[in-house]
A = this chain, B = another copy of it.
Amino acid sequence: MATLIGEQEIEDLAIGAAILGTGGGGDPYIGKLMVQIAIRKFGPITLLAPHELPDEALIIPTAAMGAPTVSIEKIPNGMEGYNALRALEKYLGKSAYATMPIECGGGNSTIPFVVAAHAGIPVVDADGMGRAFPELQMETFHIYGIKGSPMVIHNELGDHCILNTKDNLSLERFARAITVKMGATSHLAEYPMTGKQVKEVAITGTLSLAIRIGKAIREARMHKENPIEAIIDVTTNSIYGPAMVLFQGKVTGVDRQTRDGFVRGMIQVQGFDKYQGSTLEVDFQNENLIARMDGEVVAMVPDLITLLDLETGLPITTEAIKYGSRVTALAIPTPEIMRTPQALEVWGPRYFGYDVDYRLLEEIHPEYYKQKFKVSEEAEPLEL
């Protein structure tokens, strides 16, 4: 059943997707404005569930690439993603039936809507990361066999390259190098695939989940309720799993470097209330990767780690976090499709250079999750 997405849903999406974006995926503000302008001009945008796609339809995901620190200063002209889509359609000699995001994230969840509005096509309610990740091969599309190329990379001047590579790691390498030369930000049309392939390899329902999360936070704030509880409720009722509070405190240090087309660094948080005396450290490469409390790992990729403003429950991205921010650190378990051995090879902690084996968030925090899953755990064994 197709849903129509209007300005309010985009408002909610920008918030919810930034929470799933684990600090990355780009600033939600600019992307939101771009879609809202497009909706005013072209009307609401159709959101399609993957199962509504014809098997043979051509789906072309669209996105921005680069360092989020740069994308908030080097504002897109708004047509880069659309131009990338059109250039790839021309190269393939076929029109796209729909576009879709490659990741959840404030910016990259909204760009396909800008493209869709201008192209007059729907957006598919799915993505390839289930969160945000910094590199192009970090996609269920890649993990489950789809080629990222031919891909178009486009800048605001009209410069564009069509990349054809044997493997998706080379695609990341070439595209990153071009992105750096484009000023550390670019727009992409990539991983062209059929409707059938989307159904097989995409993480489904992530856009509507992000909208639900954003809406829950908005309504909680409206009714002076706790937005964190609202997030926990929505994620519990999803393919993810219950969010949990890792930490609360004040940011006392941010080490951040923009280099090689990424922003990398570390955020230090001094705890208060029940976390008084403890320190949380969160490493990031565009997105938050690993969180350590007093040196002990409390959450790691691919599970989601998001910092929220303590008062409002709104997410803070890695390029915006700063000294003095009072934050709640939230973790969310990822869907099972993102935790297979093939998937962990692509985006487990070892890929990012950490000498630790991946542990499920639920394993690291058995007490919390035992209680959260208590219904099923306490169920009586079936008498056979």
Contacts and interface: CB of A to CB of B under 8 A. Distances in A.
Contact of A174 (B166, B173, B181): B181
Interface string A157-179: 11111111110001001100110
Contacts of A49: none
Nearest to A170: B159
A53 interface: no
Contacts of A177: 177-178, 180-181
Given A177-B177, A177-B178, A177-B180, A164 B160 contact: yes
Nearest to A165: B159
A162 B161 contact: yes
A178 B172 CA distance: 11
A89 to B, nearest CB: 14
A259 to B, nearest CB: 15
A162 B160 CA distance: 8
Contacts of A158: 164, 166
A159 B181 contact: no
A162 B159 contact: no
Nearest to A180: B177
Interface in A134-190: 157-166, 170, 173-174, 177-178, 180-182
| SS of A interface (majority) | mixed
A94 to B, nearest CB: 16
B163 A157 contact: no
Contact of A164 (B159, B163, B164): B159
Contacts of A163: 159, 161
B157 A174 contact: no
A210 to B, nearest CB: 33
A166 B159 contact: yes
B162 A162 contact: yes
Nearest to A158: B166
Nearest to A154: B164
A160 B174 CA distance: 10
Contacts of A170: 157, 159, 181
A352 to B, nearest CB: 20
A157 B166 contact: yes
Nearest to A151: B161
A160 to B, nearest CB: 5
Contacts of A174: 159, 161, 178, 181-182
A82 to B, nearest CB: 16
A2 to B, nearest CB: 35
Contacts of A91: 91, 162
Contacts of A173: 181
Nearest to A163: B161
A165 B87 CA distance: 13
Closest 7 CB pairs of A and B: A177-B177, A162-B162, A159-B165, A173-B181, A161-B163, A177-B181, A161-B161
26 contacts: A87-B164, A91-B91, A91-B162, A157-B166, A158-B164, A158-B166, A159-B164, A159-B166, A160-B164, A161-B161, A161-B162, A161-B163, A161-B174, A161-B178, A162-B162, A162-B164, A170-B181, A173-B181, A174-B178, A174-B181, A174-B182, A177-B177, A177-B178, A177-B180, A177-B181, A178-B178
Interface of A: 87, 91, 157-166, 170, 173-174, 177-178, 180-182
Given A91-B91, A158-B166, A159-B164, 8 more contacts: A91-B162, A157-B170, A159-B174, A161-B161, A161-B163, A161-B164, A170-B181, A177-B180
